[in-house]
Structure 1
Amino acid sequence: MFIRANFSVLFILFVCGLSCQVTSHKVTPYVSNSSTETIPLSPKPKVEVEFQVVKVADWEASLAGLLDLDDPKAKAAGLKDRLEPISIYFYLIKHPKYGSFMIDSGMGENFPNGKDGRLVSSIVESQMHFDKLKVYETTNTYLKKNKIDLKGVFFTHLHLDHTLGSYEMDRSIPFYVGPGEVTSKYFINIFVQGSTNRLLGENPNLIQFDFGKSPNEIVVLDFFADQSFYILSVPGHTPGSLAFYIRSKEGGHLILGDSCHTRWGWKEGVTPGAFTTDRKLNRKSLDFLKGLAETHKPKFVYPGHQERISSSEK
């Protein structure tokens, strides 16, 4: 058993050339030359969208993954690794002209099983504390109950906890990801690629943004070209991590993705820890998001895995 297991690992390493993409699914580029470096200050957008946040599940994760515990602020607060309460969310945007879109995919009705068996490998499952997962809402049930005709899904990134509802979605729906999210290669993907493939489902309509700039640059795209929905390319947590600034009738909403997982991390300006691919880039992206919040003063800020933060909070 030991020899066979190690042979399998060596074979995978050989095939992948010591690194892999996060998914082997085909990806189509979405090329845009209309991106900018910031969101313009505007007293009133041309269009305001409807916005809703849906809490899918409660969970727990390692604090050392969620926060950089070596940061001086974390040390001063006496933070140590432990299991930290987190939640899973998806977000809905209803545009008056272009229809309804989601950010992240929520949870599949039959997770962790799909029609062809287990969706997540035993190696991955052993690290994810599924026994701590308490599900409140599944994506397909929510969409059917509310009669939502989904036009697309934007992924903050392709870590498994953000793709758990993808495999049950209509295969024609576009799945949008950030620059380099699929095409970048990392060693860790050797262990997660199969699970990511299964969670994204059979032949997903996977589309990767290409802003024609360095993948390490922060870029802003006014997706609908009407100042209602801005896609923010904020690399660091993953190569193609995305955040979003949304202008709704109630005010602005800043969705951080996993550029910042926790309320404490946002308030103190501390980056994620072991779960992040490139901490220096994540630092740059988090600083950009903090600056954006200062200038645009959104009504709410949404960390990746904890409750939203009101502009009235200190």
Structure 2
Amino acid sequence: MFFKRFDFLFYGVLALAFSCQVTSHKIKPYISDKTSATLPNLILPKQYVTFQVVKVADWEASLAGLLDLDDPKAIGLKDRLEPISIYFYLVKHPKFGTYMIDSGMGKNFPKGEDGKSLVSSIVESQMHFEKLKVYETTKTYLQKNKVDVKGIFFTHLHLDHTLGAYEIDRSVPFYVGPSEVTSRQFINLFVQGSTDRLLGEIPNLVQFDFGKNSNEIAVFDFFGDQSFFILSVPGHTPGSLAFYIPAKGGGHLVLGDSCHTQWGWKEGVTPGKFTTNAKLNRKSLDFLKQVAETHEIQFVYPGHQDRISTPLKK
């Protein structure tokens, strides 16, 4: 018994000692205490933003990663490759300009302009790139549509959300959630180099700091006019973000990977093996469900499948 306990402690300390951040790039803190624990009951934007969805690619991923197959509602479901998609979103504010949510995909992915792979062989072996069907690349789309990006909000820094970052101008701020970079995890030993390369050289990386426990849900009115709300929803990753965008015909709720799939949202089942902290993810998904129930929402956007129409309240 003593030796078993010693082994447990030894390997626990070893894992802690060799854990690291998801990226080695330096961050700038974005400090604000102007947050709340919930969305305002009455939201009256001074002006509305324009919201647009851009589908980047179709792909496939493990169902056991996308959904918690141990959830009682998932009884009968077996692990397999599930069709998914990759998106980025455009948020155009009439005063502050156009922002992106997530970064889409670079033109030469998985190779960089120098022909070298942007992801490690270990990462590539797990990501089923042979299943990837690309429709739109980020830089080409932005140039074609003359979009001048003022900033990118990352729902989180898992690799499939950073695939277009290296093509973005280095002056553009990359916003991430509280503790997304500064938290340390053992798995980051295997992905840090790939994340570094995908974010590109010396990215303008900005991490939100809301002045409270980063495990707590927080709501932040980014532009200060109730037109665009950042929702800090930890669990899938330490700094996962979701977004609520009011609109005249009913708002938009972007879930990030707090919920990957349409079925997961409709049944209230959290992600599976891809999630860092299942308990926190459960709390965050319940919060997002509450937002959908208490606010006028026209569409809900799971992290990796088509939007879901929501009946508007009468």
Pick the TM interval, shorter chain.
over 0.9
- Counterpart of 1:40 in structure 2: which amino acid? P
Question: Following the alignment from structure 2 to structure 1, what is the Cα–Cα distance between the partners of residues 227 and 303?
Answer: 21
**Which has the larger displacement, 207-216 or 244-253?**
244-253
Q: CA deviation at 1:14?
A: 8.4
Q: CA deviation at 1:15?
A: 12
Q: CA deviation at 1:43?
A: 5.6
What per-residue deviation string (whole Å, max 9, x for no partner) do you get for residues 207-261 of structure 1? 0000001011000000001000000000000000000001134430000000000
Question: Could you list the runs of 4 or more consecutive aligned residues of structure 1 that deviate by over 4 angstroms after TM superposition?
Answer: 13-16
Question: Following the alignment from structure 1 to structure 2, what is the Cα–Cα distance between the partners of residues 186 and 93?
Answer: 32
CA contact (8 A) 2:98 2:151 kept: yes
CA contact (8 A) 2:43 2:226 kept: no
The match for 1:191 is 190
The match for 1:115 is 113
Aligned length: 299
Alignment of 1:238-257 (within 5 A): 238-257=237-256
Question: Following the alignment from structure 2 to structure 1, what is the Cα–Cα distance between the partners of residues 40 and 246?
Answer: 12
The match for 2:66 is 66
- Counterpart of 1:55 in structure 2: which amino acid? K
> Counterpart of 1:248 in 2: which secondary structure?
coil
> Counterpart of 1:114 in 2: which secondary structure?
coil
Q: CA deviation at 1:151?
A: 0.1
The match for 2:6 is none
> Counterpart of 1:118 in 2: which secondary structure?
coil
Question: Following the alignment from structure 2 to structure 1, what is the Cα–Cα distance between the partners of residues 16 and 148?
Answer: 38
The match for 2:38 is 38
Q: CA deviation at 1:38?
A: 1.1
What per-residue deviation string (whole Å, max 9, x for no partner) do you get for residues 19-74 of structure 1? 01000000010000101111112263222110000000000000000000000000
| Identical positions, percent | 76
The match for 1:54 is 54
> Counterpart of 1:152 in 2: which secondary structure?
strand
CA contact (8 A) 2:250 2:296 kept: no
Question: Following the alignment from structure 2 to structure 1, what is the Cα–Cα distance between the partners of residues 14 and 36?
Answer: 40
Q: CA deviation at 1:288?
A: 0.2
Question: Following the alignment from structure 1 to structure 2, what is the Cα–Cα distance between the partners of residues 16 and 57?
Answer: 36
- Structure 2, unpaired ranges of 5+: 1-12
Question: Following the alignment from structure 2 to structure 1, what is the Cα–Cα distance between the partners of residues 31 and 266?
Answer: 35
CA contact (8 A) 1:50 1:249 kept: no
What per-residue deviation string (whole Å, max 9, x for no partner) do you get for residues 105-133 of structure 1? 00001111113411000000000000000
- Counterpart of 2:194 in structure 1: which amino acid? S
Alignment of 1:88-127 (within 5 A): 88-116=86-114, 117-127=116-126
CA contact (8 A) 2:245 2:253 kept: yes
> Counterpart of 1:124 in 2: which secondary structure?
helix
The match for 1:27 is 27
CA contact (8 A) 2:26 2:205 kept: yes
What per-residue deviation string (whole Å, max 9, x for no partner) do you get for residues 124-153 of structure 1? 000000000000000011111111110000
> Counterpart of 1:56 in 2: which secondary structure?
strand
Question: Following the alignment from structure 1 to structure 2, what is the Cα–Cα distance between the partners of residues 246 and 312?
Answer: 17
CA contact (8 A) 2:46 2:227 kept: yes
Q: CA deviation at 1:18?
A: 1.4
CA contact (8 A) 1:53 1:91 kept: yes
What per-residue deviation string (whole Å, max 9, x for no partner) do you get for residues 80-114 of structure 1? 10000000000000000000000000000111111
- Counterpart of 1:48 in structure 2: which amino acid? Y
The match for 2:5 is none
| TM-score, with structure 2 as normaliser | 0.93
| TM-score, with structure 1 as normaliser | 0.93
Alignment of 1:92-171 (within 5 A): 92-116=90-114, 117-171=116-170
